[in-house]
Amino acid sequence: MSENDLLRVVDYHKHFHVNKNLYIKAVDGITFEVRRGEVFSLVGESGSGKSTVAKAVMGIYPANKGSIYFKDRLISEKRAYAKAKKVLQKGIQIVFQDSAAALNPRMRVREIIAEPLKINKLFPTKDALMERVIELMGQVGLDPLFANKFPNEISGGQRQRVAIARAIGINPDLIVADEPVASLDVSIQAQIINLFQFLRREKAFTFFFIAHDLSLVRYISDRVGVMYAGKIVEVATAEELFARPIHPYTQSLLSAIPVPDPAYERQKPLLAFDKREFNPNGILKTVAEGHQVLC
């Protein structure tokens, strides 16, 4: 724990009851922190609990056990969340894979981007508000001509930019991005990722990023946590994790990344992960500075 931690997740558990006798341990005791100014990423296979963690960070899922702190305020308990709600609404914004689809179809682009600014009463006059909206559109690479369009009149990549402009408008401390580019074309993905890089460098935003695509994660992250079956099995700086993966699941994930050598690529071994190598009762052990592995 340090002063620099914006978000702290401590032994957080989330169980979903399917019926009286059956429940799913979606998140089964994870601990990590996101420090100011960094990009922290979670990777892991489908169903490993990544989105549940993202929602928990937004205060949507109270903990069954453990806790989550944002700026040192407890947010993973119902009553504490109600108290911290204002701070959370200003402090955290989320971008989903399909946040573009969630835009209100009856609102114009400028109204969509202006809404959080209005709710937080950040601009006293209509002109100042509109000026900020146009500025935000510029930052995400949207032509101001789109301001009067409706979501169904623009492309998917442009809609995702609208969602991002809406998210960054109030200058949140933390942006949670859950597979924000997975639904977009590769060329558009690159544009959005470059936009995130810009926001981070120039605006000092902190990102909690969730993705499947490991080459992308390697490119944008400072630190990476690898999730498997509701647990973090390994966490390290991106550099360290990709150079020295230790947990067998991380090794199998990394073995699937393409290398730019066709001859090697054709005969390279893909490591299959054997579930028996996963110990659900294991604990994270430090193997090098900032590098922890579930043992």
Ligand X SMILES: Nc1ncnc2c1ncn2[C@@H]1O[C@H](COP(=O)(O)OP(=O)(O)OP(=O)(O)O)[C@@H](O)[C@H]1O
Would you tell me which residues interact with Mg ion (CB under 5 A)? 51
Three-state secondary structure string covering 3-64: CCEEEEEEEEEEEEECCCCCEEEEEEEEEEEEECCCEEEEEECCCCCHHHHHHHHCCCCCCC
Question: Interaction with ligand X in 31-50: which residues (CB under 6 A)?
Answer: 44, 46-50
Half-sphere exposure of 115 (CA within 13 A, CB side): 14
Q: Which is nearer to Mg ion, 5 or 45 (CB)?
A: 45
Half-sphere exposure of 55 (CA within 13 A, CB side): 12
Give yes or no for a contact between 215 and 131, defined as CB atoms under 8 angstroms apart: no
Q: Which is nearer to Mg ion, 26 or 294 (CB)?
A: 26
**Binding to ligand X by residue 52, rule CB under 6 A?**
yes
CA–CA separation, 94 and 229 (whole Å):
23
103, two tokens: 């835009």
**Binding to ligand X by residue 99, rule CB under 6 A?**
no
Binding-site partner at residue 49 among ligand X, Mg ion, none, CB < 5 to 8 Å by type: ligand X
Shortest distance, position 50 Cβ to Mg ion, whole Å: 5
> Which residue, 174, 199, 179, 167, is CA-closest to 8?
174
Binding-site partner at residue 16 among ligand X, Mg ion, none, CB < 5 to 8 Å by type: ligand X
Shortest distance, position 178 Cβ to Mg ion, whole Å: 6
Residue type, 96: F
Name the closest residue to Mg ion (Cβ).
Answer: 51
Shortest distance, position 22 Cβ to ligand X, whole Å: 10
Binding-site partner at residue 19 among Mg ion, ligand X, none, CB < 5 to 8 Å by type: none
> Which residue, 120, 140, 11, is CA-closest to 76?
11
Shortest distance, position 26 Cβ to ligand X, whole Å: 3
Alpha-carbon distance values, 39 to 25, 59, 163, 209 (Å): 27, 20, 19, 7
Shortest distance, position 48 Cβ to ligand X, whole Å: 4
Integer distance in angstroms from the first to the last C-alpha of the chain? 22
CA–CA separation, 139 and 100 (whole Å):
17
For ligand X, which residue of 41, 51, 160, 292 counts as binding (CB under 6 A)? 51
Give how many residues touch ligand X by CB under 6 A: 11
Shortest distance, position 281 Cβ to ligand X, whole Å: 19
Question: Interaction with ligand X in 5-34: which residues (CB under 6 A)?
Answer: 16, 24, 26
Shortest distance, position 51 Cβ to Mg ion, whole Å: 3
Binding-site partner at residue 52 among ligand X, Mg ion, none, CB < 5 to 8 Å by type: ligand X
Q: Which is nearer to ligand X, 169 or 209 (CB)?
A: 209
Q: Which is nearer to ligand X, 23 or 144 (CB)?
A: 23
Shortest distance, position 98 Cβ to ligand X, whole Å: 11
In degrees, rounded to 5, the angle at the alpha carbon of residue 259 between the alpha carbons of residues 241 and 261 is 150
Q: Which is nearer to ligand X, 51 or 93 (CB)?
A: 51
In degrees, rounded to 5, the angle at the alpha carbon of residue 120 between the alpha carbons of residues 114 and 123 is 60
Give yes or no for a contact between 8 and 69, defined as CB atoms under 8 angstroms apart: yes
Q: Which is nearer to ligand X, 99 or 158 (CB)?
A: 99
Binding footprint of ligand X on the chain (CB under 6 A): 16, 24, 26, 44, 46-52
